[in-house]
Amino acid sequence: MRSARRARLQGAGFDLALPYLLLAPSVLIVLAILIYPLWDGLRASTQFWRYGKPLNDIGLDNYLALWSDPQFINSLWVTVRFVTLSVAIETILGLALALFCLREFRGIRLLRTVLIVPMVITPVVVAIVFRLIYASDAGMLTAFSEALGGTPVQILGQPLRAFLALVALDVWEWTPLMFLILLAGLQSLPSEPFEAARVDGAGPWRTFVDHTLPMLRPVLAIAIVLRAIDAFGTFDQVFVLTRGGPGEATRLLSIYGYDTAFKFQQTGFAAAMFVTMGLIMLALALAAVRLLRRAGPS
């Protein structure tokens, strides 16, 4: 009688605990690979590191030092310019392509597939290909120029051209993402307002400005935010193409942070830089969400 009661109680307890026990490994894994590194990064950002070890706690000194470091300021400025320019171009091109591909005509499926190819190529490979295009000694552009009797084309050795070349690479690779998101958005728009506009005699431009754009705004905002966050962390292409040069013309925050952490071994300072970068991206995302809410359903 007593043993039966005990077994019943144990059974009930086990039933209660089992879900938590089964969830525990996943929770532990999330804590280990997501929360702990975040916590460790935050902790490192408040320490002074030398020779791969934390020497002492310095509070927010690393964060303050960032704003008096001209290299950080320069990298932040380069990053902001890069993100703004590349995302703006990608949005315009992506929207134009999406509007074009919205129509059904012969070969459209193939065209849509071809248009997303750049996006699926590994960024490092894209950067190598573009390096082979831009290189002044044996690059494709130089070969064309020399074939036409011109001189070698200088791109990666000049600050503005190198920066624009990097933007061009990013636009080539990531316009397809904008295209894909915006095409999906356009395809999901209701047809009635467009039919009504047509009946009212609205032209294509009027329809686009008064109907397409307002209704597409939520999707557009999400696409821009996603792409901006991604562009903010661009690393591979710059690492292969210019390593941040010439001078500091293409040194994005990600490259400066990487150099600071691994080449210069200033772990605490680099951690502060990455936390700041994370906060900037978070602020961007929150601002976009707020904008989105303010825009409301049109």
Torsion angle, CA of 58/64/68/74, rounded to 10 degrees?
Answer: 110
- 36 scored as a contact of other proteins (CB under 8 A): no
By CB under 8 A, how many residues form the interface with other proteins? 38
**Which one among 123, 176, 185, 244 touches other proteins, defined by CB under 8 A?**
244
**Which one among 64, 96, 262, 298 touches other proteins, defined by CB under 8 A?**
262
Which candidate, 260, 79, 95, places its Cα nearest to that of 170?
A: 79
Answer positive or negative: Cα dihedral of 137, 155, 240, 123: negative
Which candidate, 235, 226, 287, 279, places its Cα nearest to that of 259?
A: 235
Shortest reach from residue 81's CB to other proteins, in Å: 18
Piece in contact with other proteins (CB under 8 A), picked from 10-18, 33-41, 80-88, 287-295: 10-18
- 25 scored as a contact of other proteins (CB under 8 A): no
* Terminal-to-terminal C-alpha distance of the chain: 69
Closer residue to other proteins (CB): 136 or 207: 136
Shortest reach from residue 10's CB to other proteins, in Å: 10
Residues facing 50 on adjacent strands: 53
Answer positive or negative: Cα dihedral of 189, 193, 195, 201: negative
Q: CA 204 to CA 206: how far, in whole Å?
A: 6
- 41 scored as a contact of other proteins (CB under 8 A): no
- How long, in residues, is the chain? 298
Closer residue to other proteins (CB): 125 or 283: 125
- 135 scored as a contact of other proteins (CB under 8 A): yes
Piece in contact with other proteins (CB under 8 A), picked from 80-88, 157-165, 169-177, 199-207: 157-165
**Which one among 214, 233, 245, 278 touches other proteins, defined by CB under 8 A?**
245
Torsion angle, CA of 199/205/206/211, rounded to 10 degrees?
Answer: 90
Binding site for other proteins (CB under 8 A): 14-15, 18-19, 22, 50-53, 65, 135-138, 151-152, 154-159, 162, 239, 242-248, 259, 261-266
